[in-house]
Amino acid sequence: MSAELLRTLRAAIGDTCVLTHGDLSAWELDWRQRWRGKALAVARPGNTDEVAAVVRACAAHGTAVVPQGGNTGLVGGGVPDASGTQVLLSLTRMNRIRELDRANLTLVAEAGCVLQAVQKAADDVGLLFPLSLAAEGSCTIGGNLATNAGGTQVLRYGNARALCLGLEVVTASGDVWHGLSGLRKDNTGYDLRDLFIGSEGTLGVITAATLALHAKPAATMTALASCASLADCVTLLGQAQQQLAAGLTGFEAMNAFSLSLVAKHMPQLRQPLPAAPWTVLLELSDSESEAHARERFEGVLGQALERGIIGDAAIAESVAQSRTMWHLRESIPLAQAEEGLNIKHDISLPVSRITAFCAEAEAALSRAAAGMRLVNFGHLGDGNLHFNVQAPEGVDAALFLSEREQEINAIVYAAVAAHGGAFSAEHGIGVLKREEMVQYKDATALALMRALKQGLDPAGWLNPGRVL
Amino acid sequence: MSAELLRTLRAAIGDTCVLTHGDLSAWELDWRQRWRGKALAVARPGNTDEVAAVVRACAAHGTAVVPQGGNTGLVGGGVPDASGTQVLLSLTRMNRIRELDRANLTLVAEAGCVLQAVQKAADDVGLLFPLSLAAEGSCTIGGNLATNAGGTQVLRYGNARALCLGLEVVTASGDVWHGLSGLRKDNTGYDLRDLFIGSEGTLGVITAATLALHAKPAATMTALASCASLADCVTLLGQAQQQLAAGLTGFEAMNAFSLSLVAKHMPQLRQPLPAAPWTVLLELSDSESEAHARERFEGVLGQALERGIIGDAAIAESVAQSRTMWHLRESIPLAQAEEGLNIKHDISLPVSRITAFCAEAEAALSRAAAGMRLVNFGHLGDGNLHFNVQAPEGVDAALFLSEREQEINAIVYAAVAAHGGAFSAEHGIGVLKREEMVQYKDATALALMRALKQGLDPAGWLNPGRVL
């Protein structure tokens, strides 16, 4: 049976593109090495018809298909299970920019295009593709869309979903939906695009996308500000949104412990502001000039200083200084890893509830695990926190993780639910958060999702065991 | 059978809220008087549980439910058919603003809230709800979302879909999905929200929504510019987007014939610029000041004049002048109605294809119907044209419509398809464009839509005969 499937796959996409031997860990093991699977084969189709042929062959042989992009996911959604029965469908050979339309502000990229290549294609013609995240050098646009990736500029430009105007998708039956619309408005029926986006390969395989480009700002400038409390950060956000409107393209908050870990493990990185309970990174994108950007930043931050909302501020004097500020923020994940394993939560809340949530969750965690240390940072402008619990000082981090993870997750997610938040903001569900789906997701929503899965993939061969 | 259903409905939502006698044309006849239906009853539930009870009762009695908001739709999606067997479910009694969250920039509105009331609720706290369209004084937010309404500020703020963060929906089985999320990021499963938005009541009944608010601009300013060609309008759009970025909140184009009809039928309206092949209305929203807005407008338009992209321009000197300019644009539909019936098309195209499309379609129409006159205007910034064919001068408009509509639609929609456009940009499908769905929509997309309908409404009692 599986020998016949392999023959069919080889005939469809070529011998060299169906891998069954040797070290396949580039596809079978996720990059954080949390999930190691075993694939029946790794199929590497080179175009849409070949993807459709792979899906049809697998369906005909009752074999599950696990689509994969750059294998940079954080929830185990893109690696096969350990059964050795699933076909890993890698999209990385499909990496062409098919078209760039300057007047329409769009480009068409195949699923396997690395995000950075998409950014560069836009940049090369003086435009901006604003999706930006840590893995951009290796993640693919197909994976970004399959997981509705977020990143640092969601506040202004939205997540991956908001940057996609059309899709080409291979369905569960191996048909191709040609939906590469470059239209801003299209009310001809149900919104298939947004249904496939974020469905983590469980409803169809995204093979290409039409992406929305934006005008490149004349100047981009970064500032840091220190706040005495998270509540002050939220107040600053409101004022910055009021005064800078769409000019405010980034608003990141970092608690003192996050930056202390950066200071400890990356002492070479200069921290422009003295330690404070909270430090905010603001990014302003200006359509006029650097001078105008500075003037606007000075207005907002000057007023915030006067009103006592911030205690101190530093506006970058150069592009290099802006990069240094971002580098501080981006170093937190590595610094916390240096400190030892921790228990990660990618959560979102209404901005109005974040202060109460953090106070409540932190108190509950401290009661349950005295001395635990909170690495609390993230995209405050979107209500998205990376709320990570580090073992108490001197406690074995691996042991703490293995013994306490479930309990700590339960505390955090219960508080998230109580404040109207989500237990996955930008990373998705994959295999990691399936139990949370059952426990915290609205029962009617779950029933609707199951009906959608049943409707679009009745046999269930597309990425089974993920999301639902 | 139906007597029993009526008893059940009366018990569930009260005698006075189940109408079966007297003049029901407010619900049975659309406002343009194109579709007159006959309802078994008009049910007017007052809260979500009552909506669920109506849906359950109808399902139990095998009776179709037609949800309706302000009855301002343009495609017949919200009026019952003529059979006298469908229950018209009016949401207009559900008109509370349930909550307004300033820090989170959201409000929760029930489906029956009139759009203008939502705008006002935001305005009352110094914020902006940017959805704006001609029917805003009587259309409801539930209807806006069910049809994914567009309007005049889509260029900057997106359509209704982009302004909605969460929904409360009664499903086909009469369950309630409590999805009133106020979150900017939520990757916990499939995107149910966007699937219900734009589904025209065929997948579920929207009962409430969490809407995204924006900072109110410090100044909003309008300008008119005249162009020698549509290609120049497109060039101007590109330059305005590059220089004004998110400040450009409106970009409307009007051909000479549109404005000549306004001049003919509304001679009292002053037209600031001499007649030109094309006139563009630009709107700039500025987060700083009126002076700053003017300076930026002068920069963009001055440069366009120098480069010969525009022949003339007028920047409004006051709010009153801005209103006058918008009034010209908004008077086109009425002026064309005064001129006589015409054959309307609400279409969208990639901006890069609009010039070629218009040239081709206009030539084909002139060949087919010598002397036909094109009322061509719309939201050029979104690629959305109202491309309406008026009878040749002196020809009976009603006769022209009845004899030529099908042929003219076929010419227009074939050209739309050839240029990668959509045959419904912002008005939806309803009953009006079901044949176009079959003819022009990608076959795989249609199959997927049918599978979704089957999955979420297997018995098919929700707004049958609409969309699909």
Cβ neighbours around B59 below 10 Å, total = 18
**Where does the pLDDT of residue A459 fall: very low under 50, low under 70, confident under 90, or very high at 90 and above?**
very high
Q: What is the DSSP letter of A392?
A: P
- For β-strands B278-286 and B248-255, DSSP reports them as antiparallel
What's the mean pLDDT in A229-237?
A: 98
Give a three-class secondary structure readout of B185-232.
Answer: CCCCCCCHHHHHCCCCCCCEEEEEEEEECEECCCEEEEEEEEECCHHH
Side chain identity, residue A18: V
Q: Does B343 touch chain A (CB under 8 A)?
A: no
CB contact under 8 A, A352 and B150: no
Residue B353 CB contacts under 8 Å (≥ 6 apart), including other chains: A104, B419, B420, B421
With 0-12 CB in 10 A as exposed, 13-18 as middle and 19+ as buried, what is A443? exposed
CB contact under 8 A, B351 and A105: yes
Side chain identity, residue A268: Q
Q: What is the DSSP letter of A122?
A: H
Cβ neighbours around A307 below 10 Å, total = 12
B238 closest CB neighbour out of A103, A147, A449 = A103
For residue range A115-140, what is the model confidence (pLDDT) as tens digits?
Answer: 999 999 999 999 999 999 999 999 99
Q: What is the DSSP string of B398-459?
A: HHHHHHHHHHHHHHHHHHHHHTT-BS-SSS--TTTTHHHHHHHS-HHHHHHHHHHHHHH-TT
**What does the pLDDT read at residue A389?**
98
Contacts of B433 in chain A (CB under 8 A): 188
CA dihedral B68, B74, B77, B80 (to 10 degrees): 70
Q: In angstroms, rounded to a whole number, what is the distance separating the alpha carbons of residues B331 and A359?
A: 55
ipTM reported for the complex, 2 dp: 0.97
B301/chain A closest Cα distance in angstroms:
15
**Where does the pLDDT of residue A208 fall: very low under 50, low under 70, confident under 90, or very high at 90 and above?**
very high
Q: Which residue is associated with the tokens 């200071």?
A: A263
CB contact under 8 A, A103 and B195: no
Confirm if B281 and B325 have CB atoms less than 8 A apart. Answer: yes
Contacts of B442 in chain A (CB under 8 A): 177-179
Confirm if B209 and B109 have CB atoms less than 8 A apart. Answer: yes
Q: In angstroms, rounded to a whole number, what is the distance separating the alpha carbons of residues B431 and B194?
A: 21
Q: Does B425 touch chain A (CB under 8 A)?
A: yes
**What does the pLDDT read at residue B152?**
87
The residue among B156, B185, B441 with the most chain A CBs within 10 A of its CB, best to mutate, is B185
Q: Is the pLDDT score of B1 beyond 70? A: no
Contacts of A425 in chain B (CB under 8 A): 183, 185-187
For residue range B262-282, what is the model confidence (pLDDT) as tens digits?
Answer: 999 999 999 999 999 999 999
Cβ neighbours around A229 below 10 Å, total = 15
Q: What is the largest CA-CA distance in chain A?
A: 74
Q: Does A379 touch chain B (CB under 8 A)?
A: yes
Question: In residues, how long is chain A?
Answer: 468
Query: Which residue of chain A has the CA closest to B425?
Result: A186
Q: In angstroms, rounded to a whole number, what is the distance separating the alpha carbons of residues B89 and A36?
A: 53
The residue among B133, B292, B448 with the most chain A CBs within 10 A of its CB, best to mutate, is B448
Residue-averaged pLDDT of chain A: 97
Residue B47 CB contacts under 8 Å (≥ 6 apart), including other chains: B94
Q: In angstroms, rounded to a whole number, what is the distance separating the alpha carbons of residues B258 and B376?
A: 7
Q: In angstroms, rounded to a whole number, what is the distance separating the alpha carbons of residues B289 and A354?
A: 32
Q: Is the pLDDT score of A1 beyond 80? A: no
For residue range B294-319, what is the model confidence (pLDDT) as tens digits?
Answer: 999 999 999 999 999 999 999 999 99
- Angle at which helices A397-418 and A354-368 pack, to 10 degrees? 140
Q: Does B152 touch chain A (CB under 8 A)?
A: no
Q: Is the pLDDT score of B31 beyond 90? A: no
Q: In angstroms, rounded to a whole number, what is the distance separating the alpha carbons of residues A344 and B22?
A: 63
**Where does the pLDDT of residue B89 fall: very low under 50, low under 70, confident under 90, or very high at 90 and above?**
very high
Q: Is the pLDDT score of A152 beyond 90? A: no
Residue B34 CB contacts under 8 Å (≥ 6 apart), including other chains: B76
- For β-strands A373-379 and A248-255, DSSP reports them as antiparallel
Q: What is the DSSP letter of A468?
A: -
What's the mean pLDDT in A171-193?
A: 97
Query: Which residue of chain B has the CA closest to A202?
Result: B190
Q: What are the beta bridge partners of residue B106?
A: B101, B212
Side chain identity, residue B337: A
For residue range B181-218, what is the model confidence (pLDDT) as tens digits?
Answer: 999 999 999 999 999 999 999 999 999 999 999 999 99
Query: Which residue of chain A has the CA closest to B249?
Result: A246
B164/chain A closest Cα distance in angstroms:
12
A187 closest CB neighbour out of B184, B427, B456 = B427
CB contact under 8 A, A448 and B101: no
Q: Which residue is associated with the tokens 């910055």?
A: A240
**Where does the pLDDT of residue B47 fall: very low under 50, low under 70, confident under 90, or very high at 90 and above?**
very high
Q: Does B230 touch chain A (CB under 8 A)?
A: no
Contacts 24+ apart (CB under 8 A), A238-241: A238/B102, A238/B103, A239/A300, A239/A303, A239/A304, A239/A309, A240/A282, A240/A300, A241/A381, A241/B105, A241/B215
Q: In angstroms, rounded to a whole number, what is the distance separating the alpha carbons of residues A342 and A389?
A: 6
For residue range A353-373, what is the model confidence (pLDDT) as tens digits?
Answer: 999 999 999 999 999 999 999
Q: In angstroms, rounded to a whole number, what is the distance separating the alpha carbons of residues B404 and B368?
A: 9
3-state class of B89 per DSSP?
Answer: strand
Q: In angstroms, rounded to a whole number, what is the distance separating the alpha carbons of residues B54 and A181?
A: 38
**What does the pLDDT read at residue B151?**
87
CB contact under 8 A, B467 and A102: no
Chain B contacts in chain A segment 449-468 (CB below 8 A): 449, 451-452, 454-456, 467-468
DSSP alpha helix (H) spans, A42-83? 48-60
What's the mean pLDDT in A326-352?
A: 96
Contacts of A446 in chain B (CB under 8 A): 189
For residue range A306-316, what is the model confidence (pLDDT) as tens digits?
Answer: 999 999 999 99
CB contact under 8 A, B348 and A185: yes
CB contact under 8 A, B420 and A181: yes
Q: Does B143 touch chain A (CB under 8 A)?
A: no
What's the mean pLDDT in B366-389?
A: 97
For residue range B411-421, what is the model confidence (pLDDT) as tens digits?
Answer: 999 999 999 99
Q: In angstroms, rounded to a whole number, what is the distance separating the alpha carbons of residues B230 and B103?
A: 43
B287 closest CB neighbour out of A197, A243, A449 = A243
Tokens matching residue A85: 């029965």
Query: Which residue of chain B has the CA closest to A445?
Result: B177
For residue range B102-154, what is the model confidence (pLDDT) as tens digits?
Answer: 999 999 999 999 999 999 999 999 999 999 999 999 999 999 999 999 988 99
3-state class of B107 per DSSP?
Answer: strand
SS3 content of chain A, % helix, strand, coil (to 5): 40, 25, 35
Q: How far is CA A16 from CA A9, A59, A111, A344, in A?
A: 11, 22, 20, 39
Tokens matching residue B145: 């979302």
Q: What are the beta bridge partners of residue A231?
A: none
Confirm if B419 and B350 have CB atoms less than 8 A apart. Answer: yes
3-state class of B105 per DSSP?
Answer: coil
B341/chain A closest Cα distance in angstroms:
24
Q: Does A186 touch chain B (CB under 8 A)?
A: yes
Tokens matching residue A287: 């359509």
Of B316, B307, B388, B380, the closest CA to residue B350 belongs to B380
Confirm if A81 and A183 have CB atoms less than 8 A apart. Answer: no
Tokens matching residue B99: 């909550």
Tokens matching residue A162: 């908001």
Chain A contacts in chain B segment 28-87 (CB below 8 A): none
CB contact under 8 A, B422 and A161: no
**What does the pLDDT read at residue A49?**
98
Q: Does A315 touch chain B (CB under 8 A)?
A: no
Q: What is the CA radius of gyration of chain B?
A: 23
φ/ψ region of A47 (left if φ > 0, alpha if ψ in -120 to 50, else beta) reads beta
For residue range B255-265, what is the model confidence (pLDDT) as tens digits?
Answer: 999 999 999 99
3-state class of B319 per DSSP?
Answer: helix
Chain A contacts in chain B segment 259-298 (CB below 8 A): 287-288, 296
CB contact under 8 A, B234 and A179: no
3-state class of B136 per DSSP?
Answer: coil
Q: Is the pLDDT score of B246 beyond 80? A: yes
Confirm if B148 and B160 have CB atoms less than 8 A apart. Answer: yes
Confirm if A77 and A202 have CB atoms less than 8 A apart. Answer: no
Residue-averaged pLDDT of chain B: 97
CB contact under 8 A, B161 and A217: no
B191 closest CB neighbour out of A150, A195, A436 = A195
Confirm if B467 and B430 have CB atoms less than 8 A apart. Answer: yes
Of B196, B131, B139, B143, the closest CA to residue B169 belongs to B196
Confirm if A253 and A230 have CB atoms less than 8 A apart. Answer: yes
A407/chain B closest Cα distance in angstroms:
21
For residue range A12-46, what is the model confidence (pLDDT) as tens digits?
Answer: 999 999 999 999 999 999 988 999 999 999 999 99
A452 closest CB neighbour out of B175, B214, B452 = B452
